[in-house]
Amino acid sequence: MQFLDIFIFKSSAMLGMYLGEKVNLRALELDDLDIVMKHWNNLELRQYLNSQIPMSRQTERAWLERATTQDPWRDGEMTLAIEDIKSGEFLGSVSLFDISKQHKRAEFGIAIHNADNLGKGYGTDTTRVMLWVAFHILGLNSIYLITMDGNERAQKAYKNAGFKPVGVFRQGAYVKGAFHDFVIMDILKEEFFETYPPGSSVGNSP
């Protein structure tokens, strides 16, 4: 490892509280707006997400302003930036939303923004770390997600991290001229704890 690599690794790792093997999850910052705008308006990326409508800089700034001031208990949502643990490159964002204090459950969402970074293991690692946060930090009991049936890459990444398919939400999405089913997946705290019991970490989280 070169001196510069060591310096970047250390400065990046010091910023984050939640580390995986490949990623560091940190708070989003308003400064992330430029890099978000660079890759977000891409139909290949967005075909599996909730909206395929182009997002203006103003809309994305408003989203970042909300995301950077969120409190999971007050706002029911926690969205973090995903960055490469070594280079510090911004990779995308990951969320727990519709967090219920009563039911101790939340929905999971993730997007790696740059198509060049897909299929490199970042999604699997990020999902594991965010589940660790959900169960070990927030004390939630179940996490669920919905993903379009054709999004095999996502389903594999989620299965790698411990999610199980539990049902189908029929024709829940209309994308590119056709209705698509959603696969529903979930994971319970007790299942995650089989691999990551209290006191364990996914990567090098303290």
Ligand X SMILES: CC(C)(COP(=O)(O)OP(=O)(O)OC[C@H]1O[C@@H](n2cnc3c(N)ncnc32)[C@H](O)[C@@H]1OP(=O)(O)O)[C@@H](O)C(=O)NCCC(=O)NCCS
Residues near ligand X, by CB under 6 A? 45, 48-49, 110-112, 118-124, 147, 151-154, 156-157, 160
**Could you tell me the smallest distance in angstroms from the CB atom of residue 6 to ligand X?**
25
Task: Please say which residue, 6 or 130, places its beta carbon nearer to ligand X.
Answer: 130
Q: Give the span between the Cα atoms of 162 and 187, in whole angstroms.
A: 7
Inter-residue contact 123 to 61 (CB < 8 Å): no
Of 79 and 147, the one with the shorter C-beta distance to ligand X is 147
Q: Report the nearest approach of ligand X to the CB of residue 115 (Å).
A: 8
Beta bridge pairs of residue 39: none
Which residue, judged by CB position, is nearest to ligand X in the bound state? 123
Closer residue to ligand X, CB minimum distance, 112 or 140: 112
Least distance between ligand X and beta carbon 71 (Å): 24
- Work out how close the CB of 21 gets to ligand X at its nearest, in angstroms, rounded to a whole number: 11
Helix (H) or strand (E) holding 145: strand 142-148
Which single residue is written with the structure tokens 């049902």?
167
Rounded distance between C-alpha atoms, residue 55 and residue 51, angstroms: 9
Our CB check for ligand X shows the closer of 69 and 95 to be 95
CA 20, 26, 49, 120 dihedral sign is negative
